[in-house]
Amino acid sequence: MINQQFKQMLTGKSVIRELSEYATARGREIGYENVYDFSLGNPSVAAPQSFTDVCVNLLQEKDPMAVHGYSPSLGNPEFKQAVADSLNRRFGMEYTAGHIFPTTGAAGALAHALRAVTEPGDEVITFAPYFTEYNPYVAGAGARLVVVPANPETFQIDIDVMEAQVNAHTAAILINSPNNPSGALYTAETLTALGESLRRLSARFGHTIFLISDEPYREIVFDGVEAPYISKFYEHTLSCYSYSKALSLPGERIGYVAVNPACEDAASIVPMCGQISRGLGHNCPPSLIQQAVAQVVDDTSDLSVYEVNRNIIYEQLVQLGFTVVKPGGTFYIYPQTLEPDSVAFCRKARDYDLIFVPGDGFMTPGYCRLAYCIDTDKVRRAMDRLAQFVREVY
């Protein structure tokens, strides 16, 4: 018999995928340019030319056996060193190549990090709203996800609310800043308080509580701010990164786990990730892509469009009377819906060809997510349509 757990998962529907399929189908009817599809978090700007050039050069000039051969089981040494050097230079860290474990994007990074610092049955705390793929990631590690609400005024962490949920089974805290879906960027104040709290809680419960920091949006921050580097605020941190967003390479599956050099068992965690890989069938991200990214590790796509889009949407939402926290980064914004039933709100918006994702899927009904990784021109037209929708329906 086939596996019943995975079979039953087939009956669950992905709201985001359904919305996206609806948008595609509707696009065939009226032209996709007339469907204001804010459902998908797929980068809307091209990878930098430097990345393409480096790939072509590797393919044309380097020995194909070296380009396409197996990576060492703990990853390509040049990539690991380039990542360590870049993080050290930018954030004043002291990583060596040995602290970097290359992975197939942030998903691969989280799959490894969670298994590395939890035992089956342990609890992992995250904050709502949150990216719902955390459920299968944590379940896949055999741990249990405990969801704590973020501060609804700011989407920052409410330390007291978190502390009330920590117990002897808490192995790790899983955070995501800048945040999907809220766009919130955790402030230095939040992170300082979180670090202090985790040190206290670790002492109280007699074991280190690890911080798993999911940060694929780290380079997409607004208002001239640089995102605080989370691992600076708490030594027992595993940073999970992906180049999907900053280099617009989501399909190429490239990212890493970076283990803070001062983390408990820091020397063991990357080699353990190598062991974890064996059971997952992971065996490193693609070798060509590791070698290419190693050469462009500090480049990014032109990410400025996301801030332009955020400004247009935020201003319009405020003008139309929405309650909304101004995003500090990402390409998401997460307003409260104009009626408590966010599914109903999004269904009505859909009649105006506005495709928003109800907050229910992020464990916070009463909100909706707009992913604004789309052309600015379309964003402007969508905001006119949004005004019409609000005027006619609410």
- Kindly identify the residues of this chain, within the stretch 48-87, that bind a copy of itself according to CB under 8 A: 52, 55-56, 59-60, 63-65, 67-71, 73
H helix runs in 159-245, sequence order: 159-163, 188-205
Rounded Cα distance between 358 and 370, Å, is 9
Tell me which of 32, 90, 140, 340 binds a copy of itself, using CB under 8 A.
140
CB 201 within 8 A of CB 170: yes
Which span sits near a copy of itself by CB under 8 A: 92-100, 250-258, 324-332, 383-391?
250-258
CB 76 within 8 A of CB 291: yes
How many residues are there in the chain?
394
Which span sits near a copy of itself by CB under 8 A: 100-108, 149-157, 305-313, 338-346?
100-108
Binding mask 322-361 for a copy of itself (x = CB under 8 A): ----------------------------------------
Which span sits near a copy of itself by CB under 8 A: 97-105, 153-161, 190-198, 211-219?
97-105
Phi/psi for 25 (5° steps) reads -65, -45
Tell me which of 39, 93, 95, 118 binds a copy of itself, using CB under 8 A.
118
Token digits of residue 394: 């609410």
Number of residues binding to a copy of itself, judged by CB under 8 A: 77
Binding mask 18-47 for a copy of itself (x = CB under 8 A): ------------------------xxx-xx
Task: Name the residue among 332, 381, 333 with its Cα closest to residue 43.
Answer: 332
Rounded Cα distance between 43 and 34, Å, is 19
Strands 100-103 and 255-259: antiparallel
Task: Name the residue among 100, 104, 71, 67 with its Cα closest to residue 86.
Answer: 100
Rounded Cα distance between 294 and 387, Å, is 45
Residue 200 CB, shortest distance to a copy of itself, in Å, is 18
Residue 253 CB, shortest distance to a copy of itself, in Å, is 5
Q: Judged by CB under 8 A, does residue 371 bind a copy of itself?
A: no
Token digits of residue 63: 């020995």
Residue 136 CB, shortest distance to a copy of itself, in Å, is 4
Token digits of residue 272: 């353990």
Binding mask 270-309 for a copy of itself (x = CB under 8 A): -xx--xx-xxxxxxxxxxxx--------------------
Rounded Cα distance between 101 and 104, Å, is 10
CB 238 within 8 A of CB 116: yes
Residue 288 CB, shortest distance to a copy of itself, in Å, is 6
Rounded Cα distance between 242 and 103, Å, is 8
Phi/psi for 371 (5° steps) reads -95, 115
Residue 63 CB, shortest distance to a copy of itself, in Å, is 8
- Rule CB under 8 A: which of 160-179 touch a copy of itself? 171
Residue 381 CB, shortest distance to a copy of itself, in Å, is 20
Token digits of residue 225: 């701010």
- Rule CB under 8 A: which of 181-210 touch a copy of itself? 207-208
Which span sits near a copy of itself by CB under 8 A: 84-92, 176-184, 251-259, 314-322?
251-259
Measured from the CB atom, is 250 or 366 closer to a copy of itself? Answer: 250
Residue 318 CB, shortest distance to a copy of itself, in Å, is 31
Residue 100 CB, shortest distance to a copy of itself, in Å, is 17
Contacts of 94 (CB under 8 A, 6+ apart): 88, 261
CB 85 within 8 A of CB 342: no
Q: Judged by CB under 8 A, does residue 6 bind a copy of itself?
A: yes
Tell me which of 78, 163, 235, 264 binds a copy of itself, using CB under 8 A.
264
